[in-house]
Structure 1
Amino acid sequence: MPGLFITLEGGDGVGKTTQSQLLVDWLTEAGHTVVVTREPGGSDLGLELREIVLHRRGDMDPRAEALIYAADRAHHIATVVRPALERGEIVVQDRYIDSSEAYQGAGRVLGSDEVRELSLWATEGLLPDVTVLLDLDPTDSRKRLDSARTRYDRLEAEKQEFHTRVRDAFLERAAKEPERILVVDAAREISEIATAIRERIQNHLPQPA
């Protein structure tokens, strides 16, 4: 496909939203058409599934949680992401397959390989061209959340051990795919992080329309 698929990953509170907006602004100013989206919740159906999977009261079986994320992802890729890439646009997305591998595979202890295979099946094997992993110690990310949140979703509210497993899984995947995944220390200055991201994707950019 002629477009470019960029994803931002990392634990809660690492600054994905900030870096996504800075990246989108930079790309737009350079003349690119950019689609900004997220998972879960990047489509009309996804908004309904997001409310269920992140804000439902009461327990949810881990396998059910993983399947809801996969259902959201299948619809999102088919209706939003793949059409944009086929049009030659740039997709900047908050969370994708790597998050499911980390949160459900490692965090929920369902098995990273199994959860990854489920997502690959749901998306017909679509992987990002570039993934930016914003890495931060879970203790520090929790402090950031505490200063910015009045309400936590089901995953944000999990204990420290859960978030440590998530971080370890992200870093393990990055070690396996260094050609796709750029690891950036999320404790660095915002401008430094933005520069590192731009440098990584510069050579991947399509010509502006």
Structure 2
Amino acid sequence: MTELKFYGDRPPGIEGRALPGRLIVIEGTDGVGRSTHIALLKEWLEDRGIAVLDTGLTRSELAGPGIKRAKEGNTLDPFTLNLFYATDFWDRLERQIFPALRAGMVALADRYIFSLIARAVIRGVSPEWMEDLYGFALVPDCVIYLDIDVEHLLPRVISSTGFDYWESGQDFLPSTSVFDTFVEYQTWLLDEFRRLASRHEFHVIDARGSVPEIFRAISKQVEEVVAGMGQDAPIVELLEEPSAEAASATLPHLE
């Protein structure tokens, strides 16, 4: 059950003290394997009878397309861009995450406010300003941070997507060498992630290992969070407060 706790003030219109679902976040830099493990975790949860909503940055219908267009043209300063991201985040929180949690599902988030804070801070935006901006964010049941160093990240990025303009810091770093800006940017970003991980008590998992090794560590953490959901749910939760006679007559047939 997700306790309704927020990083700042409770948003207007959000009532109650808890929701039956769970909010699980996978954080980490690009190329660390988030998408792979989100897909594996979704399948793992569904195999256990747990309904899953997966969501991620810029997936809101309201703001997602606009953010992508703005980034293509590099037309917004960091403050305006982060207000745009906050709009996207709130829209997904209200329209996707809260409904899933009310329905007793697992909301599985590929990145959360922490990626946005880390990216903004190393671009010169005040951490306090960012934390105030995302004060409406729901505190997750579990944040798993996939930790890696630049040395191990480099070959993964080179062999898959290559150097991304934004994930190499080319929008603000002066060097003309994409390799150099990538190393510098990711070094700063990983340091900021580790600061956030310490402050917010993430479950930190070493992402330098193989996919099976990393997923075993992830599933072990998640298993504790989703205990009592899906096929593990107590049978009494499926019944509508039966009488003692009805329970004694019914339960043996359900074993």
Alignment of 1:62 with 2:74, yes or no, is no
The structure with the greater share of residues assigned to helix is 1
- Superposition RMSD on alpha carbons, in Å? 1.9
Instruction: Letter of the 2:83 partner, please give it.
Output: L
2:189 counterpart of 1:177:
no
Contact 1:49–1:72 under 8 Å retained in 2: no
Q: Deviations over 1:132-182 (max 9, x none)?
A: 11111134323312211267352345423222221111111111222xx11
Equivalent position of 1:8 in the other structure: 26
Normalising by structure 1, what TM-score?
Answer: 0.88
Show the counterpart of 2:184. 161
**Residue in structure 2 matched with residue 28 of structure 1 by the alignment:** 46
Residues 61 and 50 of structure 1: is their aligned pair in 2 closer, same or farther, counting only changes over 3 Å?
Answer: closer
SS of the residue 2:217 aligns to: helix
Residues 110-136 of structure 1: CA deviation (Å, up to 9, x unaligned):
12232122012xxx3412111111111
| Cα distance in 2 between the residues matched to 1:119 and 1:201 | 25
Q: Contact between 2:25 and 2:112, CA under 8 Å: does it hold in 1?
A: yes
Q: Confirm or deny that 1:48 pairs with 2:65.
A: yes
Percent sequence identity over aligned pairs:
29
Change (3 A) 1:52 1:116: farther
1:46·1:76 contact (CA, 8 Å) conserved in 2? no
Q: Relative contact order, CA 8 A, sep 6+: which one is greater?
A: 1
Contact 1:100 1:116 (C-alpha < 8 Å) held by counterparts: no
Q: Is the 8 A contact 2:58 2:65 kept in 1?
A: no
Give, in whole Å, the separation in 2 of the partners of 1:48 and 1:111. Answer: 26
In the alignment of these two chains, the number of paired residues is 201
Query: Aligned to 1:109, what secondary structure does the other structure show?
Result: coil
- 1:62-81 alignment, distance < 5 Å: 62-81=78-97
Whether 2:210 is the aligned partner of 1:189: answer yes
Report what 2:5 is aligned to: none
Distance in 1 between residues matched to 2:185 and 2:198, nearest whole Å: 20
Structure 2 distance, partners of 1:201, 1:163, is 27
Q: Which residue of 1 aligns with 2:229?
A: 207
Gaps of 5+ in 1: none
Q: Which has the larger radius of gyration?
A: 2
Kept in 2: contact 1:3–1:87 (CA 8 A): yes
